[in-house]
Structure 1
Amino acid sequence: MASDAHARLKYRREYAGLSIEEFAEQVGVTARTVRYWEAGQRQIGDRHFGRVLNALGCDAQALGLHRRGEENLRDLRRQVGLSAVQVATHLGERRATAPMGITADRILVLERGERVQDTWCTSAQDCGTIAKALAALYGVSHRLLADAWRRTNTTTALPDLATVHRCTRSPIARQAWEELNDRQRLYLLELFHQDQDQEQEHEQQVQRCLDGSPRVPAAQWRKFVFCLHAPASLVGRTPAQERLRAAGVHDPGAGSSLSALERRGLVLCHHDTVRIAPLGEVKRTRVELTRAGRSAARAGLGVESRTLPPQMLSEWLWRTLVRIIRCAPLSDGDVPGRGTGYLAVGRSVRKGVPARGFIEHRQPPGASGGPHYWYPTRSGLDHAANHLAYYRKLYPSVNTEGVEEHLKGLL
């Protein structure tokens, strides 16, 4: 353990209100072993390390064993209480990694940073396959595992984690498109363009949320007003109706074409009323494209949806990371929303979606008490530095001016 890890272990045990005997029972060792650990005479073995963390309700950083965002492969394995034998067994049971014949000895050689005498260590694709399998086993993101790999071993090929990839076109979406008549296709395309405009407005709204404005849930902004059931001379036309008029539809009402799209599950129609002076209560129709509707529209336009693999950030998460890199330290009030839950060390907003370890919530350096602030971790800084040019092309609306200077000063 680190020089003061044994003292921290004792402090965390007492802080948890556990006696030596109670702690030993939860971990599955003898009280004498716990005394050896707390005296610094023995190190906590891999098999018991994860149990120690569970019993204390803390992570390895609380014991001073390594800094957040600087974990190596051995750290990640020990945090879940697995031995090298157990990891090798797991890899041997997976279809993608079983043919590689990875043994416990090879796991330990990899973790020591030594050269691995196997063919898979020279293939970036094979290393990427192993990295993804380890990430799933350790309960961390692909990117966090790949960063730990880079810090651990430079003699193997760096794991190849694919960048942006494109989804294949769905034959179901193509069939849905071909079953529509010309007028229905025109309606669907113009509604799709309106839906994409709403999505762009939502991205701008996310940026406003970072400045403290209330966030509008997707269940609301995905529904846009299609028409008001009143004379256009009194209530005007909606953006969706104007789109259809520009495309040659001079009576864009909520009639048979919209009903046909709804019957096919391509749109959802919501009917309610709204008060408009001096008319009073006026009926209106709001439209929401379904996932099938967007897929059918893309099939008709001949474009494919673009998705991001797990290791890359969505635009709002990238925007949050950039903000913290440029302005750290930031308080919780300066970074509202759920973005920190997906980016922070040891946090997870949604079950089954590991946090990335790109930021951490801690006290300023040298402080022994007081409030905590958001700081980027080394993993977060490395990720931003390695992919800055790519993100600038992917998300040109995110202001990254001056980020290079901040990264140079922090790395």
Structure 2
Amino acid sequence: MSSIGEVAVYEANAELGGHVCTVDVPANAHSEAVPVDVGFQLYHATHNPNVRALLDLLEVQTEAVAFSLSSSFEGRVWTNDGGGDRVSAALDGDIARFIADAPMMVHLPPQVSLRAFFDQRGYSADFRRWCLGPILSFWWVSRAALFELPAFAVAAGVLQGAISFSGATEYRAVSGGARAYIQRLAARLEGQARLRLATPVIRIERAADGVWVEDAGGGRARFDRAVLAVDAATALSLLAAPSEPERALLGSIRFEPSTLVVHRDERVMPARRELWRYGNFRVSSADPQADLSGEMTYWQPRPGDPSVFVTVITEATELDPDKVVSEHRWRHRIIDHHTFEARLSPIQGQGGVWYCGGHAVGLPVHEHALCSGLAVAEALGASYPFADDTQAAQAYAQFKTHFA
């Protein structure tokens, strides 16, 4: 990547990574701690080509993970790999119809939501609550307005193999935890950038001579440009004098608080051990209007220490406090058709301030967050680093069309 001058990286936490968070869980059956990913866990090599290209560039070891899902409700368990209870012929029919509808759905405009499409086509509430809803909840932690997602986006996931109803899907995980790739990135930054860890930024002020950055420790430094790789609400709060377009665009992006807990309490899992899957959704309401009332638990069996879980808790979740390892509070973007309309391109570069991250464009997924950072870096004079990777370059070019 070509040089764009001296770079300083401000990080509020003591370590880089943010949503890429790996927790060392004290082991039960062996001496070494078990690394457990809390935020970014898996990637699909085809669906996330730029993530794959970055990990290849960093020479990070990855491993195959078979993703499947269980959905527990009313004493029954449905799985997307055929290993659970037979729920109903109607549900099987909706699954088959949804797969058949996917090629047509990818051509729908972003304004057509899943809810509108399902209502028009007569899909059952059971399919939404017990089947597709839990699958979507695995990928997008935010529950609010999840069925307001554009129908075409979900259909694309089906056609590209990222979403399956007929068996486990092969994904990949970073060996030893996702922090391994952050550590490799940090090592590459040494000598090229000044890392200012545990240094929260509290104010961004634009002036005639550049952009002034003030941190919580009283430091104040001038830069030619600033890139805010934080969520929209945080970015808006940092700007000393946001413009009206900045207030409107950044303020229109909605977030939902989420709490993820690393623990060893098996009560969140299906009663039958053979029905444990990577993703395990437990429906907590029989109300047909409650599309996604429940909790998601992630579980990846680990040799010698199989019972470590990450649960996105709800008010109804009960965990044994003695089995809790750590708790993590984040904000996840609420996804609806506005996600695809609220582009930040009109405010990019105003007064030397740029924005990137999962909120910047498209879906709040790791691939789009990475591509938004690459696009901003390219706009500032850097070169795209994966130009020789045809699949990644094509996906990036498509992304930039929407980003711009």
Please classify the TM superposition score into its range, dividing by the shorter chain length. Answer: under 0.3
Higher-Rg structure is: 1
Higher helix share: 1
TM-score (norm 1): 0.27
> Relative contact order: is structure 1 or structure 2 higher (C-alpha 8 Å, sep ≥ 6)?
2
Q: TM-score, normalised to structure 2's length? A: 0.27
